[in-house]
């Protein structure tokens, strides 16, 4: 352990950081050690990481001093914030600033900041096709991360532009649903656009490739993706993979989706509209080839589905009233 480069992994108990923690822990001769950063050092996920050989340390993204301690002596930091815990762009930026300030204070040699594009750059400020949210954002969880890029300048940083997790289909109920007639349908406002998607755990695998490559990616922006697929293509693969006959795609308009009323419907409506209306810009910002080089275990949609068949199948069932 002593001669290994320590990576302080924020979000090690979650999807992105968990993928990186596992990549480090599953490669004991890779030269890196995993320091899992969490608020819940006694939680089951922290304990599981510890049992696999991770050092577990306590810190909170709202507390810069706790982050300075968590980063002390580390070679690298994997920096991710969780917008969906609070839904606030301003809080997300404040947490990112805390990470950057703490990384500077600790003198780390490589930070990977998990970011997304500034969707406001894709259209004029007076464009009326989608509402502004939280006063000045189109897609707050994208735009806030992009604004936060500036906090990391001056650090040896790699800006990692991530993609839509396929895992959202079962984690957040965004997948197809079985109707009372036993038929499956999938409502999304994505038209015929291809969506840049990825298995969530593969983001961490790509981040591990970036840490291993080191100097090559410092100061660079790297866009990662598993596969670009339309909803219809994913619907056909899901129907086949789950053995459920067919999944019909109900392509609604983003305006209708924003009005569905669940928490974050407006935010997701805007995000999906960005994917639909600015398909070429979104796809161009991510490279499957680079992702595969960074993470040779990168999964296709079909591979991901085979590994998560049970969860996806369960998520198609109607929620009991």
Ligand X SMILES: NC(=O)c1ccc[n+]([C@@H]2O[C@H](COP(=O)([O-])OP(=O)(O)OC[C@H]3O[C@@H](n4cnc5c(N)ncnc54)[C@H](OP(=O)(O)O)[C@@H]3O)[C@@H](O)[C@H]2O)c1
Burial class, 206, CB count within 10 angstroms (exposed 0-12 / middle 13-18 / buried 19+):
buried
| Site residues (CB under 6 A) for ligand X, limited to 52-71 | 60-62
Choice between 138 and 244, CB closer to ligand X: 138
Contact range with ligand X by CB under 6 A, out of 6-14, 213-221, 231-239, 248-256: 6-14
Position among 134, 168, 230, 303 found at the interface with ligand X (CB under 6 A): 168
Task: Write out 249-317 in H/E/C secondary structure.
Answer: EEECCHHHHHCCCCCCHHHHHHHHHHHHHCHHHHHHCCCHHHHHHHCCCCCCHHHHHHHCHHHHHHHCC
Binding mask 134-153 for ligand X (x = CB under 6 A): -------x------------
Q: Contact between 13 and ligand X (CB under 6 A)?
A: yes
Inter-residue contact 273 to 252 (CB < 8 Å): no
Contact range with ligand X by CB under 6 A, out of 164-172, 176-184, 188-196, 217-225: 164-172
The C-alpha atoms of residue 235 and residue 244 are separated, in whole angstroms, by: 11
CB-based contacts of 244, cutoff 8 Å, min separation 6: 178, 184, 238, 316
Position among 81, 149, 228, 270 found at the interface with ligand X (CB under 6 A): 81
CB of 97 to ligand X, least distance (A): 13
How many chain residues touch ligand X (CB under 6 A)?
A: 24
Q: Which residues pair with 159 in a beta bridge?
A: 113, 221
Inter-residue contact 246 to 318 (CB < 8 Å): no
Position among 7, 14, 227, 275 found at the interface with ligand X (CB under 6 A): 14
Give residue for tokens 């809080």: 91
Choice between 38 and 316, CB closer to ligand X: 38
Q: Contact between 40 and ligand X (CB under 6 A)?
A: yes
Contact footprint for ligand X (CB under 6 A)? 10-11, 13-17, 38-40, 60-62, 80-85, 141, 162, 164-165, 168
């Amino acid at each position: 352990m002593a001669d290994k480069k320590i990576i302080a992994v924020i979000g090690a108990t979650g999807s992105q950081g968990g993928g990186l923690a596992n990549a480090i822990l599953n490669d004991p001769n890779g030269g890196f050690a995993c320091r899992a950063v969490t608020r819940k050092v006694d939680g089951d996920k922290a304990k599981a990481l510890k049992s696999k050989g991770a050092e577990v340390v306590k810190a909170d993204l709202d507390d810069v001093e706790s982050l300075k301690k968590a980063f002390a002596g580390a070679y690298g930091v994997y920096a991710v914030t969780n917008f969906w815990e609070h839904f606030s762009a301003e809080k997300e930026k404040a947490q990112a600033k805390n990470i950057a300030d703490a990384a500077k204070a600790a003198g780390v040699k490589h930070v990977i900041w998990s970011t997304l594009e500034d969707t406001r750059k894709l259209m004029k400020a007076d464009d009326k096709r989608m509402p502004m949210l939280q006063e000045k954002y189109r897609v707050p969880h994208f735009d806030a991360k992009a604004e936060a890029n500036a906090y990391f300048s001056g650090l040896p940083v790699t800006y990692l532009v991530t993609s839509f997790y396929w895992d959202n289909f079962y984690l957040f109920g965004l997948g197809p649903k079985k109707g009372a007639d036993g038929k499956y349908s999938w409502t999304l406002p994505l038209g015929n656009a291809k969506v840049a998607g990825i298995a969530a755990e593969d983001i961490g695998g790509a981040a591990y490739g970036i840490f291993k490559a080191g100097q090559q990616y410092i100061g660079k922006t790297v866009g990662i993706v598993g596969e670009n697929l339309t909803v219809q293509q994913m619907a056909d693969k899901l129907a086949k993979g789950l053995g459920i006959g067919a999944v019909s795609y109900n392509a609604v308009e983003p305006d209708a989706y924003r009005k569905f009323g669940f928490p974050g419907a407006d935010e997701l409506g805007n995000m999906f509209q960005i994917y639909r209306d600015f398909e070429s810009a979104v796809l161009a910002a991510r490279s499957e080839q680079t992702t595969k080089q960074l993470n040779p275990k990168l999964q296709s949609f079909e591979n991901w589905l085979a590994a998560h068949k049970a969860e996806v199948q369960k998520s198609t069932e109607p929620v009991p009233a």
